[in-house]
Amino acid sequence: MALLLFSSCGNDQGNLFHVDIVDPLDEGSDISLIQVSGGSFLMGSALLPAYTIITSPDGTQYLSYNPERPVHSVTVQGFKISTREITQEQYKAVMGVNPSKYSGMIDLPAEQVSWEQAASFCNKLSEISGLDRCYSLVNWECDFSRSGYRLPTEAEWEFACRAGIPGEYGSAASPEDLTRIAWFSANSGSSPHQAATLSANAAGLFDMQGNVWEWCNDRYGFYNCNSQTDPLGAANGQFRIARGGSWASTADDLRAAARKALDPKLGNYTVGFRIVRR
């Protein structure tokens, strides 16, 4: 497949940008990013209890704290975010391989991509586009001052998912309303679906909830209760965050505040990603 990069250009409103990576003779879609204006919002959720008591097989009890708490005020700068999850064709055009389990259809989301592979995709796309790569090849730290592509922070992801709408499900008014914008256990038929076949959320983003979980840049950790600007997550930790739920998830995982901790070295057929840049 030819790799044709890089006509990044705005639309008439100046907020939609394209990265041309798919040969025009092939089917499929190039990467489109939309400008999200910065702002402040309440991150997290108080829907679930602050902690639950877990009893181990030997009878020992311990507290499991709710990682969605405390609800706290966050401000994010404006950023560009891909309107769709990165597709298998887009991933193969950049990386030369398609690791996905569910293949054979144009514009299915790339899955079975580890966090490290997603970060490598961002670096490679940045290099091809003539931008500075954000991720260190030594320790995978992200340099946010650089111009290239990267994974969204948790704060950026949740801000884009909520799209200025209060409530647990972002642009969906209820769990039942999720079927309008999300593929999950209630309507997916137990498999992922082609990108952007349902309605976009209020920010113009497709599949922010459901279809595949989406890697975020942050390491997993508990929230700081103080007001913050552009938080970057825990400084240390074994796991990275995924957001949004998947085709196999219940509605609970599709809540805007729901978090999942995963091993960054492992891929899973319910996990993919989308990209951002400033």
- Residue 68, Cα to own-chain centre: how many angstroms? 17
Residue type, 43: M
Region 247-255: mean pLDDT is 98
Domain boundaries, the chain: 41-277
pTM of the entire structure? 0.92
Q: Span 41-277: which CATH code?
A: 3.90.1580.10
Q: Is 41 helix (H, G, I), strand (E, B) or coil?
A: strand
Is residue 18's pLDDT more than 60? yes
Residue type, 13: Q
Say how far apart CA 14 and CA 19 lie, in whole Å: 15
Q: In the numeric block, which tokens belong to residue 204? A: 């113009």
- Provide the pLDDT for residue 227: 85
State what percent of residues in the chain have pLDDT above 70. Answer: 92
- Percent helix, strand, coil in the chain, to 5, is 15, 20, 65
- Provide the pLDDT for residue 212: 99
- Provide the pLDDT for residue 28: 64
The answer to whether 117 and 99 are in contact (CB under 8 A) is yes
Region 13-41: mean pLDDT is 78
> Picking from 13-27, 95-109, 152-166, 203-217, which range would have the lowest pLDDT averaged per residue?
13-27
* Predicted confidence band of residue 25 (pLDDT cuts 50, 70, 90): very low
Residue with the two structure tokens 């595949």: 212
Cα dist. 158→12, 45, 48, 96, 231 in Å? 27, 11, 17, 31, 12
What is the secondary structure of 161-228 as a DSSP string?
A: HHTT--STTTT-SSTGGGGGT---TTTS-SS---TT-S---TTS-SSSSSSSEEEEEEEP-PPP-S-E
- Provide the pLDDT for residue 252: 97
